[in-house]
A and B are shown apart, each in its own frame.
Chain A
Amino acid sequence: MKGSNVIEEPLIIEDFGAEAITDKLTGLVLKRSLKTGWILSALFYFIFILIFTVAASYLLVKGVGIWGINIPVAWGFAITNFVWWIGIGHAGTFISAILLLLHQEWRTSVNRFAESMTLFAVACAGLMPLLHLGRPWFFYWLIPYPDTMDLWPQFRSPLVWDVFAVSTYLTVSLVFWYIGLIPDLASMRDEAQKRWQKLIYGVLALGWRGCAKHWRRYQTAYLLLAGLSTPLVVSVHSVVSLDFTVSIVPGWHSTIFPPYFVAGAIFSGFAMVLTLAIPLRRFYRLEHFITLRHLDNCAKLLLTTGLIVDYSYLVETFMGWYSDDVFDSYVVTDRAIGYYSGAFWLVIFCNVIVIQLLWWRRVRTNVVALFIIALLVNVGMWFERFVIVVSSLARDYMPSAWANFSPTRWDYAILFGSMGLFFFLFLLFVRTLPAIAISELSKLGHKLAKGQKAI
């Protein structure tokens, strides 16, 4: 490494004024024609939505037996997908809430699409336990309501905590996202030429007119929402981890799980932010707004959270030995050399070895390298969840109760189908709403034009 580690690239390249920023960002939605590339990718992902629909319908007809799960491995792909997807959402909340409170102004260009990513990821995540219920039409049994059987949910169970944590997370993320969108929806309303566009964006903008009195309350509310979302970044995946750690299964029953899961969540989320940001800035010519500095910062956060995850791997392994518990130490050994060792070493490769490349600035500012690393981390984090969920269940106390899990085609259909849903929703988002926060970026542009330094 040579020279300073802070790259000199500005947050907004060229001296963009509010007019140019608004024209560019609203134009992406209102003026740009549908390109073949967009249509083909949308069709491609739509095929996966259809696969997902077929798989979910067949599941409703036949039950969860179509998956590879059985006793003892009763939690398979669906729970792995759930933990993975909800983790991905965390980076969006981290960017929009924590980085706002820390006055990290570089978040301005990435927060909008990262928040959208959060919504879509949490939507995908929410589907998984619902489908896994076996009888999803009874999902409302998880919600406390005065029923004729005079029964309540078990409020002492982490699974019920999860229902509250995830639904709160989804609701608060949605509210935060929408409140952030209101001034931009007003921009869309005012820029729209066609009547139906004016009508739709006008209704969604709620009549926002940029009144100073309104801005003041808006800023207070936005800051409070950021403050309220901040503990959610930590709490949601902690509660998810309690689903595992409150049980007594070796490999699950560990006090390190909550921080370990939270770090993994933000880690996988930043990988997904990069996976989305790199094509987004390339195809929509947003390099002026999402600069190499943004990518560099995201990569640094990816490395930092990755190292926390790596530390957790180390502690987990160490505790397996140090506990002097035969079951715990067996789980650790079995992961490394047993039936699931392929998945385990893939995790080590992606999440421990590959991310070390991010120590080099040349890698962090190389878009192609960064994209490949981000993809590998996505893969690595999915397999990490898989190893935790499946390998622990497959090898609990009694050897007579051991059994391996092998996924069926329906498991894969749900996994890849949910990915198709996620990317399809993201494609729709890019063409219907401003992918970068217009009013925030205009404000930042004004500040930069005045010669003030941004962080």
Chain B
Amino acid sequence: MTASAQRDKIYGLLAEFADPRSLLHAVSSARVAGYTHLEAFSPYPIEGLYQALRLKHDRVALITLVGGVVSGALGYFMQWYANVVDYPLDIGGRPNNSWPAFIPITFELTVLGAALSAAIGMLALNRLPRPNHPVFNARAFSRVSKDRFFLCIKGDDPTFILTDARVFLNSLAPLSISEVRDED
């Protein structure tokens, strides 16, 4: 088996840690060692981890804003269209476009559109639902939702060499190291 073929099959090397501090330390050491394709896993969000991983700004807020504005505008348009264009009704000469009365529904639809965009946008950006990710193949990984913290050096990292990565991760004194295969 050639080195590249082996690299294709390996999703990454997964190291298990007992607490958030060790994970943070491991992430910054891996960055110092030159690894760039890193993934960290934890049972709850950890302060400082995003900076350590140098994650770029996420786009959930923008999606939410657009979703809310579009939904609110459509909501107002619907009421305007119904009362001004499609079925105008003259009641004592009052304006058909009676905007103050249209605000509650516009507001509710803004909130509805923004909330759905936030939830669906977050899931879509995270590529969820996805029940069959390779990291689930690692036996130790089942504790990620409980009390264990994981660092994965991914196989597609330009500097990834399996043996070197293993030596490096071992130097961080993890609880365990597992090879994550792409398919099994």
Q: Which residues of A are interface residues toward B (Cβ below 8 A)?
A: 17-19, 22, 144, 150-152, 155-156, 158, 160-161, 164-165, 168, 171-172, 175-176, 178-179, 183, 186-187, 189-191, 202-203, 206-221, 224-225, 228-229, 231-232, 235, 239, 242, 439-440, 442-443, 446
Contacts and interface: CB of A to CB of B under 8 A. Distances in A.
Contacts of A144: 78, 82
B50 A216 contact: yes
Contacts of A202: 131
Contacts of A446: 20, 44
Given A156-B98, A224-B60, A18 B147 contact: yes
Contact of B118 (A186, A224, A232): A224
| Top 4 A-B pairs, shortest CB-CB distance | A206-B129, A221-B122, A18-B147, A443-B44
A155 B58 contact: no
B109 interface: yes
Interface in B52-103: 53, 55, 58, 60-61, 64, 68, 78-79, 82-83, 86-87, 98, 101-102
Nearest to A23: B146
A150 B55 CA distance: 52
A183 B39 contact: no
Contacts of B61: 220, 224
Given A164-B109, A175-B115, A220 B41 contact: no
Interface of B: 20, 39-46, 49-50, 53, 55, 58, 60-61, 64, 68, 78-79, 82-83, 86-87, 98, 101-102, 104-105, 107-109, 111-112, 114-116, 118-119, 121-123, 125-126, 128-133, 135-136, 141-147
Given A156-B101, A165-B108, A176-B115, A214 B128 contact: yes
Nearest to B100: A156
Contacts of B145: 22, 183, 186-187, 189-191, 208, 210, 439
A218 B20 contact: no
A168 B114 CA distance: 11
B133 A209 contact: yes
A224 B43 contact: no
Contact of B112 (A19, A172, A187): A172
B87 A150 contact: yes
Contacts of A220: 58, 60-61, 122
B144 A235 contact: no
A219 B45 contact: yes
Considering residues A208, A210, A218, A442, which has the most beta carbons from chain B within 10 angstroms of its beta carbon? A210
A190 B146 CA distance: 8
Contacts of B60: 217, 220-221, 224
A164 B104 contact: yes
A80 to B, nearest CB: 23
Given A158-B104, A171-B116, A213-B53, 11 more contacts: A152-B87, A155-B105, A168-B108, A190-B142, A206-B130, A207-B132, A211-B39, A212-B49, A216-B50, A221-B118, A439-B44
